[in-house]
Amino acid sequence: MKKSKLYCKRIFLVLAIIGGVLLVWSAISMIYNPMRRPAPMIRSHILRHTPIGMDMEEVIEIIENNARWGSSVINRESGFRHPTPKASPWDYSERVGTLIVGEQSIQTRPARYNVILWHERNVRLFWGFDEYGKLIEVFVISSFSP
């Protein structure tokens, strides 16, 4: 009886240590790589570097100098598609509306991160600009895929 309790305590201790190491690793990776944070925190980080009203050429230069933001796709013909929420909570359709933000846009895909062995986090960044090339919106999509 005592051996089984001691065995259970050892297993619990090993699992607690493994969980603690994973938690510390996750926290450290979020501190050193802002793209591993939740979408609102990523957006705040992006807005600190590219505030609303900034010129498009300046944003392009900042993106090119920041390797973690990925390579950019510049669209000088139209804005980016921003998903809009459903009309009501009782709308059970799978369709989500879209809204075109801005007259010009930039899109990057910083990276895909393996959060857990079988889950991957995809991050996409979008900048929308008005007809004068001034930043009007930053949008972040951060999703998990199994």
How do the domains of the chain map onto residue ranges?
1-32, 37-145
Residue 12 has pLDDT above 70, yes or no: yes
Dihedrals phi, psi of 117, to nearest 5 degrees:
-50, -40
How confident is the model over 37-52, as pLDDT tens digits?
788 888 998 999 999 9
Read off the pLDDT band of 84 (50, 70, 90).
low
Q: What is the pLDDT, as a whole number, of residue 143?
A: 76
> What does the chain come to in residues?
146
What is the per-residue pLDDT for 67? 77
Between 100 and 62, name the one with better pLDDT.
62
Confidence class for position 89, pLDDT limits 50, 70, 90: low
Closest by CA position to 139, among listed 125, 122, 118: 125
Which alpha helices (DSSP H) does 33-146 contain, by range? 39-49, 56-65
Task: Identify the residue with better confidence: 95 or 118.
Answer: 118
- Of all residues in the chain, the percent with pLDDT exceeding 90 is 26
* Residue that is written with structure tokens 């669209």 in the block: 75
pLDDT at 74 over 60: yes
Please indicate whether residue 94 or residue 84 has the higher confidence score (pLDDT): 84
